[in-house]
Amino acid sequence: MARLNLLEETRYEKLPVSVYNNQQEASVAVANRIADLIRAKQAKGEKAVLGLATGVTPIGVYAELVRQYKEAGLSFKNVITFNLDEYYPMKPTAAQSYVTFMYENLFSHIDIDKANVHIPDGTLDKEAVAGYCLAYEKQIEELGGLDLQILGIGRTGHIGFNEPGSAPNSGTRMVTLDDLTRSDASRDFGGKANVPTKAITMGIGTIFKAREIILMAWNKKKAPIIKKAVEGEISGEVPATYLQLSQHVEFVLDADAASELTRFDTPWLVKDCVWDNQLKKKAVIWLANEVNKPVLKLTEEDYNNHGMAQLAVEQGPVYNINIDIFNQIQHTITGWPGGKPDADDSQRPERALPAKKRSIIFSPHPDDDVISMGGTFIRLVDQGHDVHVAYQTSGNTAVWDDDVLRYMEFAIDFTKSIGEDTTHLQKSYEDMRAFFPTKQPNEIDTQEIRNVKGFIRKTEAISGARYAGLEDDHIHFMALPFYETGKTKKNSVGEEDIQLTIDLLQKVKPQQIFAAGDFADPNGTHLVCFKIILAALDRLKGKEAWVEDCWLWMYRGAWHEFETHEIEMAVPLSPQEVIRKRNAIFKHQSQKDRPVFPGDDAREFWVRAEDRTRDTAQRYDRLGLAEYEAMEAFKRYMF
């Protein structure tokens, strides 16, 4: 019976999928399978031939294999490896090369014979690439093929660098990289312009010949493409869908990457559910959007035709369900994000008391405050709350080099104008001008350059916070040390990061904290900064009375918003408030027009922010709620 239930739950899935609670558990499971294969081959006196992948996804797997080598006696002397791909052109010594990646994360830490390591050569003349690729294939064939191939997946659905349009029988070859793939790699290269346009990759046909294939994916950023790869039709537009044709493939996912699969996203379509309030709210909102009706117009027929008959029977009549959910959504809307004084707050998202609250807005980068919740920020100040803003990092990696020269030229001219000596400034300026033309992709700036970039972001943040109505003593620059590496790759969180946060919290003793709750990118600054706040609160909890009365509200960035059923506070903005928010964002001139790290969204930050908040308001409107110009959304985090 259990097997039948599983088949029903997974009937939308066209290949085997294993889901783990988190990427750490999943990585250990994959590493154990690789280790078991290696040991089984050793017992037979045979070679284990592995196809390996690069990128963030397999790092945990490699770390666990290294641990097993050092602590559990796992030897790699009988292992032969073939990597999936390499950028072209690419020197093996470059920081971005997959040769560097593999040695840093695996090969330098184990006893593998380096003669058994094969990684596509990014230094070849173009004329030599085709012959090299044929030889790469032949080497694999002469060893009897790959025993196991591990894969990641790109947001285009690529496996290896087999981009949309790749043929299912393709072999090892040179390819042109998709624009989205290059955008995703831009941080590693210090900007998209520095990302190679070509790569050498194993083909889909080569991958298919492996006796076992494991594709791994972690975090919500991968959830949409995983749904297409697992449940979608086979198409060259999503190369990973070709894996549906294999009898030897398995997708290994963490819960976030699996979150949009039908059995997790809309489970009522495949099984009976335990209808707690959150699932009921999600299902009713989904149904309203599916049939394009306001919540209060949903009928029993709508429920029955869309997998929700069980809910209708257990908790109906459906009109009562509709009213309940409509009221819950309506109660999230408030024009008083700090609580409405002298009001009944039993149906409001925030407490009425104290009427004037101490609030801290934590901003991971110097512009997240106004981009993500600028309207709410301004309203909190306008309504008389004691608002502080804390900029957790300097944001100094996200400033263009030519902006540095512009500010230095201003500093020199101003210093001259007041009759001061400019010798040192001039020397620094000339050093900077000499450095920039020779600067390599992702090369660390000099300390003076990093300081100037940080000062640029700082002055912009001050201007934005002042525009929102704050006094200077309520504007805090934390410059958390984990960020100050000068590189896109940051240090691990240290004691000083947490202590600086504790110090500020003890100083303000807030009743409200607003923090960036965008966890789509597990290596992103937002998530790191959020964890630092939680660590600080955890240490203070039980020791300081004010913590018990402090609420933590999460906001989202300029790219994504909470799903409607997740929103617990929606702050509507008038057309005038939207313009005020826009003006606050405009204070961040270095991030306007074309930011250094724009991601795959070409819109300016203020446009993204306005489109996002307008969409939130429209989603509420379609459900039958009042129509507003825009809405900023928040979700409470229980700590």
Q: For residue 220, how many C-alpha atoms fall within 13 Å in the half-sphere facing its CB? A: 14
Tokens 């590493």, residue? 31
**Rounded CA gap, 546 and 274, in Å?**
37
| CB 541 within 8 Å of CB 547 | yes
Instruction: State the Cα torsion 19-21-26-27 to the nearest 10°.
Output: 150
- The predicted pLDDT at position 1 comes to 35
* Helices 59-71 and 23-44: angle between axes, nearest 10 degrees: 50
Is the bond preceding 92 in cis, omega lying within 30 degrees of 0?
Answer: no
pLDDT of residue 558: 66
User: Does residue 20 have a pLDDT over 90?
Assistant: yes
Q: Rounded to whole angstroms, how far apart are CA atoms 617 and 627?
A: 7
Q: Residue 67 half-sphere exposure, CB side, CA atoms within 13 Å?
A: 10
- Encode 112-170 in three state secondary structure: CCHHHEECCCCCCCHHHHHHHHHHHHHHHHHCCCCCEEEECCCCCCCECCECCCCCCCC
Distance CA 529, CA 534 (A): 9
- Check whether 2 has a pLDDT greater than 70: no
pLDDT score at 518: 84
Catalytic residue among 13, 86, 137, 163: 163
Residues 6+ positions from 571 with CB-CB distance below 8 Å: 334, 335, 337, 375, 376, 379, 631, 632, 633, 634
Peptide bond into 317 cis (omega under 30): yes
Q: Which of 92-101, 265-274, 319-328, 520-529 has the lowest mean pLDDT?
A: 520-529
Place of tokens 């080598």: 69
Mean pLDDT over the full length of the chain: 95
Nearest Cα residue to 623 out of 564, 566, 568:
564
pLDDT for the residue numbered 5: 58
d(CA 371, CA 398): 16
Percent helix, strand and coil across the chain, each rounded to 5? 50, 15, 40
Give me the phi and psi of 48, to 5 degrees please.
-100, 120
C-alpha closest to that of 594 among 586, 602, 606: 602
What is the identity of the amino acid at 305?
Answer: N
Residues 6+ apart with CB under 8 A from 4: none
Q: Which residue has the tokens 């070849």?
A: 124
Closest by CA to 186, choosing from 595, 613, 614, 530, is 595
Helix (H, G, I), strand (E, B) or coil at 482: helix
> Nearest Cα to 295, choosing from 304, 287, 306?
287
**pLDDT tens-digit map of 25-67:** 999 999 999 999 999 999 999 999 999 999 999 999 999 999 9
**How far apart (Å, rounded) are the C-alpha atoms in residues 589 and 115?**
52
* Three-state DSSP class for residue 92: coil
C-alpha torsion angle, residues 27, 31, 34, 40 (rounded to 10): -140
**So what's the pLDDT on residue 6?**
62
Q: For the CA atoms of the chain, what is the radius of gyration?
A: 27
> Which has more pLDDT, 558 or 54?
54
Mean pLDDT within 235-248: 96
One-letter amino acid for residue 169 of the chain: N
Residues 571, 631: contact at Cβ < 8 Å? yes
DSSP label of 107:
G
Task: Identify the pLDDT of residue 542.
Answer: 94
Residue ranges with strand state E in 523-609 = 551-555, 569-573
Residue 191: pLDDT band (50, 70, 90) is: confident
Task: Spell 252-261 as b/e; 16+ CB within 10 A means b.
Answer: bbbbbbbbbb
**Residue 621: pLDDT over 80:** yes
CA 423 vs CA 412, 413, 420, 426, 456: distances in Å: 9, 12, 9, 5, 22
State the pLDDT at residue 325: 98
Q: What is the mean pLDDT of residues 395-415?
A: 96
* 221-235, 495-509, 588-602, range with the lowest pLDDT: 588-602
Place of tokens 């500093």: 411
Neighbours of 165 (CB within 10 A): 12
| Residue 8 appears among annotated catalytic residues | no
With bands split at pLDDT 50, 70 and 90, how would you rate the model's confidence at 3?
A: very low
Please name every residue paired with 235 in a beta bridge, in sequence order, or none if there are none. Answer: 238
Residue 474: pLDDT above 60?
A: yes
Residue 521's pLDDT band, with cuts at 50, 70 and 90, is low
pLDDT, tens digit, 9 for 90 and up, residues 57-99: 999 999 999 999 999 999 999 999 999 999 999 999 999 999 9
- Retrieve residue 253's tokens: 């996912």
Closest CA to 121 of 85, 150, 95, 145: 85
DSSP letters of 48-70?
Answer: EEEEE--SSTTHHHHHHHHHHHH
Query: Which amino acid is located at 463 in the chain?
Result: S
CA dihedral 24, 26, 28, 33 (to 10 degrees): -170
Supply 247's token pair: 């009898």
Q: Which range is least confidently modeled, 111-120, 161-170, 399-408, 589-598?
A: 589-598
Short-list 342, 398, 336, CA closest to 524: 398
- pLDDT, tens digit, for every residue of 319-367? 999 999 999 999 999 999 999 999 999 999 999 999 999 999 999 999 9
- pLDDT value of residue 599: 61
pLDDT of residue 210: 97
